[in-house]
Amino acid sequence: MSATAPIHQHSQHEGQINVAILGAGGIAHTMARTLLAMSSDERYSSLINPYAVAARDRDRAAAFAEQYGLPVSYGSYEDLVADPNVDLVYIATPHSLHAEQSLLCLEAGKNILVEKSFTANARQAQQVFDLSESKGLLCTEAIWTRYMPSRGIIDEVIASGEIGEVVSATANLGYPITAHARLVDPALAGGALLDVGVYPLNFLDMALQGRDPSRIASAYQPYSTGVDAQSSTTLFYDDGIMAVASSSMLGQSDRKGCVWGTAGVMVCENINDVSSITVYGPGYEVIKEHPIPDQLTGYEYEVASAAHAVLEGRQECPEMPHSDTLRIMRMMDEIRGIWGVRYPFE
């Protein structure tokens, strides 16, 4: 939609979803690029309409809208949610704000796609889901790895028996990202766990088909501000399976996810955006390589899933139902409980 197109005409009739971005930070720019790419891609152009952005600063919002050709910008979140043309709001702010902004959007009757980590803790997540369900609105967590084609490939490899019976899994993610103020600030729910640690936990949860661990052991190294700088967590399951998740905001990790089986191992390169999936046999010889389909940015899958859910009147997306988000949030709560790490607002 160009900046000159009429904006008052609601596009829902054509099955097109007007998407608005709440926040104008780094991840919001990635989403804006995604929406633009989708709007000019025949697979998505009749589904997605990049529509608006809101920031706390009107000039910043206007500059963002101009950069991406969004027809509407707002200098407050309240103004954004009051716009009747907005169908779906993508929330792209720090973790600590997700709950209150999700509630703001839902109260205003807006469907939401909320950047991970969904909220700061499970109590907040439950509150948001309760409201979305009572309002009959879509509310889903934007953890892109759950929506990507790579997830289906991983499921198929495990189901096919290519690696035999699954006995263990490992996943790690680490980047040197302490320069970002929000990541070291306890008041913003900073730390490695909610930002990068959420990916290894989600990888393991998907690989082990959404089971609840019977026991969790974990240890962490604190940052000078008190948040977690790096950690290692072991999940134990009733059937004898073990899984290990590691995360760090101090250093670069190999970002691998591995699922160990009785007949082989599946290795996923870059669990944060899987780039290749290789199955190795008992002698660590390559048995099979599974190519990953080309993608626009990788964010398109979560947006398309959310848009379809809105059109179909569903409150959740099948790729990341509320129960999955709550299980991960409870796990992260339990892990922080083991460490004795609490955020000031808790």
CA angle, residues 86, 87, 88, in degrees to nearest 5: 100
Cβ neighbours, 10 Å, residue 238: 10
Is residue 40 over pLDDT 90?
yes
8 Å CB contact between 196 and 145: no
Residue keyed to tokens 């699922």: 259
Axis crossing angle, helix 26-39 with helix 58-68, rounded to the nearest 10:
30
Main-chain phi, psi angles of 71, to 5 degrees: -70, -20
Name the average pLDDT for the chain.
95
Q: With cut-offs at 50, 70 and 90, classify the pLDDT of residue 81.
A: very high
CB neighbour burial string for 136-155, b if at least 16 within 10 angstroms, e if fewer: ebbbbbbbbbbbbebbebbe
Q: pTM for the complete prediction? A: 0.94
Q: Look at residue 7 and tell me whether its pLDDT is greater than 60.
A: no
What's the CA dihedral at 298, 299, 302, 305 to 10 degrees? -80
Residue-wise pLDDT tens digits, 23-37 = 999 999 999 999 999
Strands of 92-236, DSSP E: 111-115, 139-142, 166-174, 215-222, 228-236
Rounded CA-CA distance 174/307 in Å is 31
Residues in the chain, total: 346
Confidence of residue 14 (pLDDT cuts 50, 70, 90): low
Cα 68 to Cα 21, 24, 31, 303: the distances in Å are: 12, 12, 10, 17
What pLDDT does 112 receive? 98
User: For residue 262, what pLDDT is reported?
Assistant: 98
Helix, strand or coil, per DSSP, at residue 153: helix
Count the neighbouring beta carbons within 10 Å of the beta carbon of residue 34: 25
